[in-house]
Amino acid sequence: MLKKQFVLAVSLAGATLLFSQNLFAQPLSVGAAALWSESPYHNTNDRTVPFPLIDYQDENVFFHGLEAGYYLYHGEADQFSIIANTTGQYFNPHRAHHSAMRGLDKRHLTMMMGGEWTHVATWGVVKTALTGDVLNESNGLVWDTNYHYPLQFGALSLIPGAGVTWQSANQTDYYYGVSGKESRRTGIDRYKADDSWSPYVDISAAYQLTQDWTVVAGVRYTHFDNEIKHSSMVDKSGQTAVWTGINYQF
C-alpha cells in the first residue's frame, strides 16, 4: 500500500497540473516532486520517495502521472477513454523490521487496464474508472470514483475532492490476505480478505510562480475498509500521503 499512495499522489499531481494547464492553456509540463507516505503494514517504515511530474494531453491521447489513455470520445462536458495505469500496490517483505513480516511472500506490482468516464460541469468534475489486472498478479478489479471542484484565486489553484475506491476480493486478498502456508511459516494469523470499499479525501494546490514555472502540493487521506484494516498484516485504520514539487510548463 505504500506504493499505492505514491501512485495516488502522482495521479493527484496530474489532476492539479491538468486543471492549471486548462486555465493557462499549457498542454505539456514536466517537473519533479517528493512524496511522504505512512506505511499501513506492521513494523514497516514510512517512506519518502522522489518522482517525476509529467503531464500531457491533446485531442486523442493523454499522460497524467502514471496513467496513460486514449480518448474514445472527447467532448467539452464528457470524455470516454481507454486507460492503462497501476494501483502501485506491492509489498516487499525485506523492508519489514519484524522477522515474521519478513517471512511473508512478496505482493507484486501489476498493470491495470480498463475504461474511464469524466464529466466536467460548472459544479465540478466527476471521474469514474474500472480497471483490471492484465499481468496475472492479483487477477483483481479496481473501481475508483471521485469528485473534485477546482477553485481559482489569481495565480493559485485549489482542488479539493473526495472519492471511494472499490477493490474486488481477489485484489484485496492478494495485497492484504495471509495464506495458510504463510501463517504456518511466520506465525502471523491467517487472513482471507473479501472485496473492500475505501473512501478518501484530498486537496491539491498549484501556484503559478511565473508564466512557465508552477509549484504544486497535495495531501490525501484514505480510510481503510474493515477488510483491509482487520488484516493481520495491517496496523492502521487509514493512510496519509503528502507531496510537493515544481514543474515547468511548455
Greater pLDDT, 7 or 190:
190
Distance CA 192, CA 205 (A): 39
What pLDDT score does 110 carry? 93
- Look up cell 462536458; give the residue: 77
Greater pLDDT, 195 or 54:
195
**Which residue(s) pair with 70 in the sheet?**
61, 82
Distance CA 212, CA 215 (A): 10
Q: Which pLDDT band holds residue 99 (cuts at 50, 70, 90)?
A: confident
What pLDDT score does 132 carry? 97
Q: Which pLDDT band holds residue 47 (cuts at 50, 70, 90)?
A: confident
Q: What is the rounded end-to-end Cα distance, in angstroms, of the chain?
A: 33
Q: Does domain 2-249 correspond to CATH entry 2.40.160.40?
A: yes
Residues 145-166, buried b or exposed e (16+ Cβ, 10 A)? ebbbebeeeeeebbbebebbbb
DSSP state for residue 66 in the 8-state scheme: T
What contacts 111, CB < 8 A, 6 or more positions away?
A: 84, 85, 86, 133, 134, 135
Q: Which pLDDT band holds residue 80 (cuts at 50, 70, 90)?
A: very high
* Least confident among 16-30, 141-155, 187-201: 16-30
**pLDDT tens-digit readout, 196-208:** 999 999 999 999 9
Percent of the chain with pLDDT over 90: 63
Rg value, the chain, Cα: 19
Q: Is the pLDDT of residue 9 over 60?
A: no
Average pLDDT over residues 132-154: 95
Q: Which pLDDT band holds residue 5 (cuts at 50, 70, 90)?
A: very low
* Least confident among 31-45, 58-72, 182-196: 31-45
Residue type, 125: V
What pLDDT score does 26 carry? 53
